[in-house]
Chain A
Amino acid sequence: MQTSLKLTVAAAVLLSLGACASKPKPVAEDTTPVEVVDTTPTPTAPVEETVVAPTGPLAGSLDDFRVNVGERVYYDLDGYRLDSDDQEILKRQAAWLASYPQVRILVAGNCDERGTREYNLALGERRASIVKDYLVSLGVDSSRIDTISYGKERPIAAGSDEQSWALNRNGFTQIVSGSTS
């Protein structure tokens, strides 16, 4: 829980710093722990105690990774280079993967719809490989990482506009096994 909480705070800070960047970022969920213990002493009335069970993601779970680490990096138009925001997300992924060494991941490279199908399949593979290479450079064992390209076949935003295309140009780290449920 301690680790998870630290990551939560780190993620919140990073997300707020990243908000002014040109690339779209996923909307952050409210991950503030809801455990509240009212221990204010009151000399006249009996002490009332309320305990609410934590509902944040379980450490090491898929949600923990998605919410507290970040599962996607976003690319510029026709690009495949990782900028500092992307690198921060991948550093958190690498740290998380170091904490959960049994986890295996699949990195998918995705492209927007404004390219032709076969070139986008190649570009998506390049994007996925660059994410893998970066994670490996941060110490993640390459045997834990598979890559796949979906080209323009797996959009996450349905619109046909700049903002949707920017969201659809992404590298998606998916946990395939080894997470806590």
Chain B
Amino acid sequence: MKRILMALVTAFLFATSFALPSAAQLQVRVTDGNFTPTPLAIPDFQISGANAELAKQISDVVRADLTSTGLFEMQNPASFIQKDLSLDVQPRFADWKIINTDGLVVGQYEELPDGKIAVSFRLWDVYAGEVMRINGQPGRRLTTTPDNWRRIAHKIADSIYTRLTGEDPYFDTRIVYIAETGPKLERVKRLAIMDSDGANQQYLTPGRNTVLTPRFSPSAQEITYMSYEGGKPRIYLFNIETGRQELLGNFPGMTFAPRFSRDGQSVLLTQAQRGNSDIYIMNLRTRESRRLTDHPAIDTSPSMSPDGDAIVFTSDRGGSPQLYIMNTDGSPRTCPSGGRDAACRITFGKGNYSTPVWSPRGDLVAFTKQSGGKFYIGVIGVDGKGERLLTEAYLDEGPDWSPNGRVIVYFRESRPGAGPQLWSVDLSGRNEQRMQTQTDASDPAWSPLLQ
């Protein structure tokens, strides 16, 4: 936030015009080093209908989503001077400037004759004194059934976040994870799903078999995961809508560490047989699979680049678990070191590296690092440069990216003997937050943006 600059520009132009050059508009820079959250005011939405409580809840969720980013600071409603806000009337900017608010959201909740609800909102740039257009429009109106109200709230928060930061949205998403209950020696593990803010938690499997490592398809309707169903550890597809579970492939050995390709047409997986784990890719339509690594070391945890051309994975071919990148088509790759090889090692720091996940933007790989009795979540460039550790704990494991590549979700055991919990951290390393779950939780995976 360039508060001073904006204030000067605003003061200069204030008496004559609301129109400002777009360059002076409210803009939140998510990567600034010296960071101060941007003050936003989101008064409870105006109500046209009977269910005032629902209108309040929707505005609560919008505020909570934006606050959770760490980028915004919600202004205290007690400080608001203007009480007579209306969607269609320009706010009195002076009333909002005086309480140091940069952005103001004015919303209106309606109950429609067909039983649906609609929420309209506008985002105002207080210092510029003008409405901030979203997708070219001076506001948005979203309609749905009352039971689906949280998605309206998430979509509003996504619009505001994207408009102010320039980043892609990520609130209207879900997290799938493993819900853990019972004592440590008899752990029950169930597939579970929730909204990105922890609401609507549901179990998807009954817990008769241990299930592990769920991952979303790019459609957000399917999950691939590993289950000990029938006493055999193998990977499955699970359809969230129908609840149908389907065994993937007909491999003689154990299959695990599944992850969808970026186009959703294939699943990358590991097959272990006779003491050796190697990586395969299976086409979901033809069900044919192709072997991608053929090495006596352990090769596992494959994750594909957004363009589909390369795969990052864990291998202990160098003596300890480290991250490597290979070309999907099996051709030799030019490594950062300059040589050409079937796979290029990208981690050389002290300790073990595993669980690589290629970022949706393509430039980074998130990983788990284990060193000196601690675990870390970190990121590294695909060229092996710029390693940054974002978190540290007794156990931090299993990162996955928000679909916009800004936030990483992972699980943590904060101390020896503590059960695992889900956490998230911003790519900057700021804003580490626990995600509330009803039970202990591990192996989180973030869905793409819902359709």
Contacts and interface: CB of A to CB of B under 8 A. Distances in A.
Nearest to A176: B231
Given A117-B398, A119-B300, A158 B256 contact: no
B254 A148 contact: yes
B277 A160 contact: no
B183 A119 contact: no
A158 B187 CA distance: 11
Contacts of B417: 159-160
A130 B212 CA distance: 24
Given A116-B397, A117-B213, A133-B275, A125 B321 contact: no
Interface in B154-194: 183-185, 187, 189
Contact of A121 (B184, B189, B232, B272): B272
B233 interface: yes
A114 interface: yes
A20 to B, nearest CB: 27
Given A116-B370, A158-B184, A148 B231 contact: yes
B426 interface: no
A155 interface: yes
Interface in B404-443: 416-417, 442-443
B213 A118 contact: yes
Given A125-B275, A149-B233, A118 B270 contact: yes
Interface residues of A, number: 27
A153 to B, nearest CB: 6
Given A114-B370, A118-B257, A158-B183, A125 B272 contact: yes
A105 to B, nearest CB: 14
Interface string A151-181: 1010110111100000000000000000000
Contacts of B300: 118-119, 121-122
A126 B272 CA distance: 8
Contact of B212 (A113, A123, A153, A161): A153
Highest count of chain A CB atoms <10 Å: which of B189, B232, B301: B301
B250 interface: no
B355 A116 contact: yes
A156 B186 CA distance: 9
Contacts of A122: 256, 270, 272, 277, 298, 300
A118 B395 contact: no
B275 A130 contact: yes
A116 B212 contact: no
- Of A122, A129, A155, A161, most buried by chain B (CB within 10 Å of CB) is A122
Contacts of B226: 121
A149 B253 CA distance: 11
Contacts of B275: 125-126, 128-130, 133
A156 B398 contact: no
Contacts of A128: 275
Contact of B416 (A133, A148, A156, A160): A160
B276 interface: yes
B354 A119 contact: yes
A115 B275 CA distance: 18
B267 to A, nearest CB: 14
Interface in A79-129: 113-119, 121-123, 125-126, 128-129
Given A116-B397, A133-B275, A121 B233 contact: yes
A159 B185 CA distance: 10
A130 B276 CA distance: 10
B75 interface: no
Contacts of B231: 148
B210 interface: yes
Interface of A: 78, 113-119, 121-123, 125-126, 128-130, 133, 148-149, 151, 153, 155-156, 158-161
9 contacts: A121-B256, A129-B276, A149-B233, A153-B187, A155-B184, A155-B185, A159-B417, A160-B416, A161-B416
Q: Which 5 pairs across A and B sit closest by C-beta, in order of nearness? A: A129-B275, A160-B416, A125-B272, A122-B277, A118-B257
Given A119-B298, A129-B275, 6 more contacts: A115-B354, A116-B370, A119-B355, A121-B257, A125-B275, A153-B212
